[in-house]
Amino acid sequence: MATFTLFSDNSSSIILYDFLEVSPTEDVPPIQFKIFISNEEVIDSAEKGLWAAYLILKNTEIRSRTAGDKKSFRTSQNLVKLIPPGKKYYVVIDFEDRKLKRSLSGESSGLAFSLEFAREIYKKATGKTLEYSFAATGELDKRTREAGVKKVEAIEEKFKAALKNLKAGDKLFYPLENEQDINPILKATILNKGIILCPVSTVEGAIELLFENYSIIPKKAGRADHLMRKLMFGILAVSLIFALIFIFNLFTHPVSSGYDQIIYSLEHGKFIKTKNEIKTFLNKTQDGNLIRDLEGLKQQLDSDIFFAINFEYYEKENEIIANKNQAPILELQDLSLSNNDGYRFKVTANKNCYFYLFQFDSEKSVELLFPLSSFSMENHFLISERSYSIPGANNYFFIQDEIHQGLITIYFIASFWRAKDIEQAFYEYEAAKPGKKKLYQDKLLERMFIRSKLYEKGIKGIFFKKEFFLKE
């Protein structure tokens, strides 16, 4: 099975690794890399990826998690060290395509190198080979175990390159930050081919997705680790003192970045905290532009958002619309729909706002009904007093046969600001494996209910409504 790194011209190359074990008695570092690649950007990203993966894996153990064998997951005899103490490696890296253009940017190759290194270590530690190929793109922000996966350019071209090389059951790893940049048609094409999409924000998270049948377990700390923690605690204490000094200076001499901090809070559901922050900044700042912007936010936080919402549905009989109905959303709970019945929503807001529409079925699976795939998360802004059909035109959502009898719950959420915490929680739910869906679904509901409680308390600038209908 192959590992592909992806480039901005729709091309790709397989990464080749050769692991040579070095005698533990030799006076050399525990890991050495030799990279036979002429592109300097690729070399730099490769070094970041290799070191990040090595530092994660050398402090990691895994336990076998055979399907249906929960007991073995907990037993210590199944524990395997990925990089045993004393092991030293000399790793040779190359591309299968040695004609790789020097002009191509290679900054986004880091994640692919991390994952291929992890795959090889996995094979050495367990004697097993991953049964799928994968492609990866992602620039790393550092060469440590905390390495994050940054947004990349030309994500669609890289997806097209992956589409040419991957088959059903293979995986495509890419930055979570790029999720909103992907053409929905291209994404659907990849999913229809059976390729598994894996948006990630850290190298460690990507490696966890890579090890399908193993659970990553941090290695127990030894004496040296405890001493290092004490040292780090001391450094942290000193850093905290400087941080407090910085915060004091921030509030006595605020800067325009305070506006960005407040927007971040609003986009993550911290409305009560934000009102207090605005008051503090207004009392301290002398910046006229900042005062104007803050007053605008204050006015929005004092404004109500109202919605007129209607639920349209029809009963399908012999492929002909037999009966089309319209009901106010308040009557939704009195309705029952059957398999293949169609439904949609008509919404009108009194203010310009961002709007989200989620559906949970009786099996607790989650669908984002709005924004639809034709919208990006940056472009689902509703204009005040304009009526919107969801889905658009004369389209309808349909009750699917696989949905069991029970309640279909609908959540309507709106705000003057994007709900980025909810967006993030939904992305994580979509990317989660079936066994972990419930965990991420709960996280999504938790973020939604924060806004529900705020709305119930009379906090302005947001809208929240929960309704349901019955699936017969």
Position 25 scores a pLDDT of 66
Token pair for residue 188? 């659907």
Token pair for residue 210? 């890579």
Tell me the pLDDT tens digit for each residue of 85-137: 666 666 777 666 545 544 455 678 889 988 988 888 778 777 777 788 899 99
Token pair for residue 286? 């002398």
DSSP H/E element including 354? strand 353-360
Mean pLDDT over residues 240-252, rounded?
55
- More confident site: 135 or 26: 135
Top-ranked range on mean pLDDT: pick from 10-14, 225-229, 462-466? 462-466
Query: pLDDT over 90 for what percent of the chain?
Result: 10
Tell me the pLDDT tens digit for each residue of 7-25: 777 777 777 767 666 666 6
- More confident site: 61 or 343: 343
Tell me the pLDDT tens digit for each residue of 29-54: 666 766 666 667 777 888 888 888 88
Q: Is the pLDDT of residue 466 over 80?
A: yes
Tell me the pLDDT tens digit for each residue of 141-181: 888 888 899 999 889 999 999 998 899 889 999 998 888 88
Tell me the pLDDT tens digit for each residue of 252-301: 444 445 677 788 888 888 887 787 888 887 888 778 777 888 888 888 89
Show the CA angle centred on residue 331, arms to residues 455 and 344, nearest 5°: 85
Provide the whole-model pTM.
Answer: 0.46
Q: Is the pLDDT of residue 205 over 90?
A: no
Of 143, 92, 125, the closest CA to residue 211 belongs to 125
Position 349 scores a pLDDT of 93
Token pair for residue 278? 């605005």
Phi, psi values for residue 64, rounded to 5°: -65, 135
Q: Is the pLDDT of residue 333 over 60?
A: no
Of 201, 129, 195, 205, the closest CA to residue 167 belongs to 195
Question: Is the four-CA dihedral 280, 283, 284, 285 of positive or negative sign?
Answer: positive
DSSP states of 107-147: GGGHHHHHHHHHHHHHHHHHS---SS-EEE--EES-SSTT-
Top-ranked range on mean pLDDT: pick from 42-51, 190-199, 206-215, 336-345? 190-199
Position 375 scores a pLDDT of 43
- List of domains in the chain: 3-218 (3.30.230.10), 307-471 (no CATH)
